Structure 1
């Protein structure tokens, strides 16, 4: 078969899948063959992968969640996935296996380890996830999206940045339109899985903005399906123009148009904000493993690119205060956008590709 083969293993959230997609795009452009190994949930976020990427659904599980029976069955399900991955590798041997974290990466990374294939992981967050942490000392290279990243003792990482999809890179450094007398575009996004608290608090906070500002607001709010109707009703009652969907497939375009983004601080969201360069109010997910979303948001807050508002102190009043502070001060908003852009790594996918080619010799 023509071309070297990269097997990309990624878990079931957009935070894992989007950087995996970015690497796949570069690999294909350089003449590689690419296979994606994920689970049923991850496949939901694989729609943007190029058609040339061969997808395989693997059996995987976690012992950290689920009922007693699920926890007891998990090791057997994982073992089945590892054996299936080994069979697949023997039939079409990868030149390298790249893991992006999440439980669905366990079979591919385990098979690569036992077969002594070149292997590396990419950690998106400022604190390593459970699966990447388990493999960190057993791979050839650890690439880090957020810097600094908390790593296991004795493990050294290479800062590549978080790869962004072509649709984000195409809008890298799009000129920022400062808040003025025209429309004010606000994007509200809780990550690929949504966030109930944003649906609870943001509409009320926006409704409390000054009366003369509200008619100019254009809100794009990503809400979970079960929250959709009440969010629509809240904006309608406030007289605010809002588009509410459970998933936006054009987030890069919306970020490029936005004067302000209110979001969780998942790694992919941070990467998109810094590559495009937009001011934000970041509300870290408090239940994220080892509080990694706070670690993700801190560099932006320290650089003046974002306001970080912990969920423990989040309410409509505080969010109204912070939103108004940005939208009513063009010079501050412009400085925040510039600070965000200064942190961006639009070449992260290329940096990661360079590491891949060094290992797959």
Structure 2
């Protein structure tokens, strides 16, 4: 017996990647899947299975735009809710799952009004604004990081963060420790890139010993306005580097990497634990509730990552840590193993089990490794 799952997700990779993972799993289980998102989220749908129906809805956020734009936010959200209610009345889903972000508001509001079974998934150790609003109003909050701070009246279940099929295809890929041969370093700045990484990483590489630089193959994500200067910096020092605004093959590049330097977004951390790679993490200082530091903490405790706060992230500090990891193969191997020890490769199946439980199609015992927080 199959059902119809409606996934509501916002316009960043942190929301869209786990949404994609769940979509892939539910299609494999014979379900129909619809994704409700906005124009920003639609940019990430290229890797979604073709069978997923994409529905763009009006939504907005108070975080961007001028005074007029912010004044129109309630009206745009209301229009999205009304449209979602109409759509769900015509094509009623069995379950609605929200992954956070303002674009998830219309679908979750409509599900609340129509009394459709619903749950949310929170990728970070601190709930986002939208998920905080809906947490007491859904059956379950599936938590990617445990424990997660939940508001009163919310029921949390530990699932871990789902990763896409492309990541699972490289789960526990053998790690080649650094040595006197080409070594790959992957630099990720999150969905929008990170200027601080474009400023600091090339300068740090320039300070590394020549014997390290000559073996280095570097892939770095950068903002459009930073691509040319970062590319020129590496070319000047003779480093083999690929600098792009977005990599469509992050799982492949991560599997090949001896070291990953990145923000500590939930999806990046989940990918690191499933594939198993050493990392240097630089949490985004302005993240709500400092949730990226919370995301990184489990990797740091497992000896799998070095955490450098933005306030102390400079070329000298980064160069020291990069050199220490890339010149100590035994330590790098232990870091890779530590990352794997924190992985939840069963996160997608655990989340899918909750969806089927919510739809009434399976016994209500849920995933084996689930834990509940009242």
TM-score (norm 2): 0.95
Partner of 2:174: helix, strand, or coil?
Answer: coil
> What is aligned with 2:43?
44
Shift of 1:289: 1.2
Tell me how far apart the structure 2 counterparts of residues 188 and 334 of structure 1 sit (CA, whole Å).
19
> What is aligned with 1:310?
309
**In the alignment, structure 1 residue 169 sits paired with structure 2 residue 185:** no
Shift of 1:72: 1.6
Q: Deviations over 1:104-123 (max 9, x none)?
A: 00000000001110000000
Shift of 1:148: 1.9
> What is aligned with 1:95?
94
Partner of 1:299: helix, strand, or coil?
Answer: helix
Partner of 2:47: helix, strand, or coil?
Answer: coil
> What is aligned with 2:365?
none
> What is aligned with 1:5?
4
Q: How does 1:233-244 map to 2 (within 5 A)?
A: 233-244=232-243
Residues paired across the two proteins, number: 360
Partner of 1:290: helix, strand, or coil?
Answer: helix
- Is the Cα–Cα contact under 8 Å of residues 184 and 259 in structure 1 kept in the other structure? yes
> What is aligned with 1:198?
197
Tell me how far apart the structure 2 counterparts of residues 241 and 113 of structure 1 sit (CA, whole Å).
53
- Is the Cα–Cα contact under 8 Å of residues 137 and 154 in structure 2 kept in the other structure? no
Q: How does 1:211-360 map to 2 (within 5 A)?
A: 211-360=210-359
Bigger shift: 149-158 or 129-138? Answer: 149-158
Tell me how far apart the structure 1 counterparts of residues 245 and 207 of structure 2 sit (CA, whole Å).
24
> What is aligned with 1:136?
135
Partner of 1:182: helix, strand, or coil?
Answer: coil
- Is the Cα–Cα contact under 8 Å of residues 163 and 348 in structure 1 kept in the other structure? yes
- Is the Cα–Cα contact under 8 Å of residues 140 and 154 in structure 2 kept in the other structure? no
- Is the Cα–Cα contact under 8 Å of residues 265 and 294 in structure 1 kept in the other structure? yes
Tell me how far apart the structure 1 counterparts of residues 253 and 71 of structure 2 sit (CA, whole Å).
44
> What is aligned with 1:72?
71
Q: Deviations over 1:325-345 (max 9, x none)?
A: 111111110110000000011
Partner of 2:72: helix, strand, or coil?
Answer: helix
Shift of 1:3: 3.5
Q: How does 1:15-34 map to 2 (within 5 A)?
A: 15-34=14-33
Q: Deviations over 1:9-60 (max 9, x none)?
A: 0000010000000000000001000000000000001111000000010001
Tell me how far apart the structure 2 counterparts of residues 324 and 217 of structure 1 sit (CA, whole Å).
11
> What is aligned with 1:157?
156
Tell me how far apart the structure 2 counterparts of residues 163 and 39 of structure 1 sit (CA, whole Å).
21
Shift of 1:149: 1.4
Shift of 1:62: 1.9
Partner of 1:212: helix, strand, or coil?
Answer: helix
- Which ranges of 4 or more aligned residues in structure 1 deviate by more than 4 Å? none
Give the RMSD, CA atoms, in angstroms: 0.9
Bigger shift: 291-300 or 277-286? Answer: 291-300
Tell me how far apart the structure 2 counterparts of residues 147 and 325 of structure 1 sit (CA, whole Å).
30
**In the alignment, structure 1 residue 207 sits paired with structure 2 residue 206:** yes
Partner of 1:42: helix, strand, or coil?
Answer: helix
- Is the Cα–Cα contact under 8 Å of residues 2 and 29 in structure 2 kept in the other structure? no
Tell me how far apart the structure 1 counterparts of residues 50 and 320 of structure 2 sit (CA, whole Å).
45
**In the alignment, structure 1 residue 180 sits paired with structure 2 residue 175:** no
Shift of 1:64: 4.1
Q: Deviations over 1:134-187 (max 9, x none)?
A: 000000010001122121134231110100000000000001001111111100
TM-score (norm 1): 0.98
Q: Deviations over 1:208-238 (max 9, x none)?
A: 1111111100001111111000001100111
> What is aligned with 2:34?
35
Flag structure 1 segments of 5+ consecutive residues without an equivalent.
Answer: none
> What is aligned with 1:106?
105
Flag structure 2 segments of 5+ consecutive residues without an equivalent.
Answer: 361-374
- Is the Cα–Cα contact under 8 Å of residues 207 and 240 in structure 1 kept in the other structure? no
Tell me how far apart the structure 2 counterparts of residues 222 and 78 of structure 1 sit (CA, whole Å).
32
Tell me how far apart the structure 2 counterparts of residues 111 and 241 of structure 1 sit (CA, whole Å).
51
